[in-house]
């Protein structure tokens, strides 16, 4: 059960988000095909994911919404939660802090770092911005496990190195530049340009299919 596929982890996070909305509406049970509809995937996929985490619904009644929320929480959350830092408080970094702030979750953005003197010491949506040189100290002091990189792409490798030196456990890199980290640090990268170009490619091929 400890070896859940990466894709399953992603979907569990999404299921939970959908389930929380259902719970808020007072829905107590849900069928696999209902979850599937929301996520636009197949019901089999949903059942399989739920099987993998060892939960069992009731036949003809579906899954108990609250139980499933709790179980997903047991799997993807830590009891005490994890602390997160954002590095690079430009447009994207600021948007992230603002967005996450207020979402009740086990993950808290507790610090920000930048190298621009105008930003140091300021508080953005409740999160204080420190100078990048204070990183190691603050990460240790505040027990920060995850760093989100939103500096300009060119500075990403340097920042990633600093995060590694600061003993970060996981990195989420939003710049267009891939970074290298030691194996024991979990790295997730996402590049918006790539996504947009991917959409463009499939739009292009669809268009030429139809004509």
Ligand X SMILES: NC(=O)c1ccc[n+]([C@@H]2O[C@H](COP(=O)([O-])OP(=O)(O)OC[C@H]3O[C@@H](n4cnc5c(N)ncnc54)[C@H](O)[C@@H]3O)[C@@H](O)[C@H]2O)c1
Partner DNA sequence: GAAAAATTGTTAATTATTTAACAAAGAGTT
Partner DNA sequence: AACTCTTTGTTAAATAATTAACAATTTTTC
Phi/psi-derived region of residue 128, left when phi > 0, alpha when psi is between -120 and 50, beta in every other case? beta
1 binds, options its own copies, DNA, ligand X, none, Cβ within 5 to 8 A by partner type: none
The DSSP code for 192 is H
- List the interface residues with ligand X, window 163-202 (CB under 6 A): 174-176, 192
Considering the complex, what minimum distance in angstroms separates the CB of residue 169 from its own copies? Answer: 4
Cα–Cα distance measured from residue 79 to residue 76, given in angstroms and rounded to the nearest whole number? 10
- Tracing tokens 């139980």 back to the chain, one arrives at 67
For ligand X, how many residues bind (rule: CB under 6 A)? Answer: 26
**Region of 12-20, 26-34, 51-59, 63-71 interacting with its own copies (CB under 8 A):** 12-20
**Applying CB under 7 A, does 65 fall inside the site for DNA?**
no
Is the CB of residue 156 less than 8 Å from the CB of residue 175?
A: yes
Beta strands 144-149 and 82-87 are: parallel
**Applying CB under 7 A, does 51 fall inside the site for DNA?**
yes
**Applying CB under 7 A, does 59 fall inside the site for DNA?**
yes
Range list of H helices, the chain = 6-24, 32-39, 43-52, 65-76, 91-100, 135-141, 156-165, 192-210
Considering the complex, what minimum distance in angstroms separates the CB of residue 59 from its own copies? Answer: 27
Q: How crowded is the C-beta side of 94, counted as CA atoms within 13 Å? A: 7
Residue 72: count other Cβ atoms within 10 Å of its Cβ: 24
**Applying CB under 8 A, does 36 fall inside the site for its own copies?**
no
**Applying CB under 6 A, does 3 fall inside the site for ligand X?**
no
**Applying CB under 7 A, does 100 fall inside the site for DNA?**
no
Binding site for DNA (CB under 7 A): 5-8, 31-33, 41-45, 47-48, 50-51, 55-63
Binding site for ligand X (CB under 6 A): 88-93, 95-96, 98-99, 114-116, 119, 132, 150-153, 155, 158-159, 174-176, 192
């Amino acid at each position: 059960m400890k070896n859940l596929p990466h894709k399953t982890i992603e979907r569990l996070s999404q299921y939970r988000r959908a389930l929380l909305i259902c719970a808020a509406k007072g829905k107590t049970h849900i069928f696999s095909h209902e979850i599937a509809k929301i996520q636009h995937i197949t019901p089999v996929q949903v059942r399989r994911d739920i099987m993998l985490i060892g939960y069992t619904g009731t036949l003809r009644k579906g899954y108990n919404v609250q139980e499933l929320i709790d179980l997903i929480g047991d799997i993807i959350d830590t009891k005490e939660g994890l602390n997160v830092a954002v590095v690079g408080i430009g447009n994207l970094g600021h948007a992230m802090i603002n967005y996450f702030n207020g979402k009740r979750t086990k993950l808290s953005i507790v610090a920000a770092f930048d190298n621009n003197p105008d930003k140091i010491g300021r508080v953005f949506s409740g999160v204080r911005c420190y100078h990048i040189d204070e990183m190691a100290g603050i990460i240790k002091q505040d027990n920060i496990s995850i760093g989100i990189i939103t500096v300009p792409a060119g500075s990403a490798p340097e920042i990633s190195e600093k995060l590694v030196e600061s003993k970060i456990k996981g990195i989420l890199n939003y710049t267009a530049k891939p970074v290298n980290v030691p194996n024991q640090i979990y790295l997730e990268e996402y590049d918006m340009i790539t996504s947009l170009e991917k959409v463009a490619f499939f739009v292009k091929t669809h268009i030429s299919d139809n004509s």
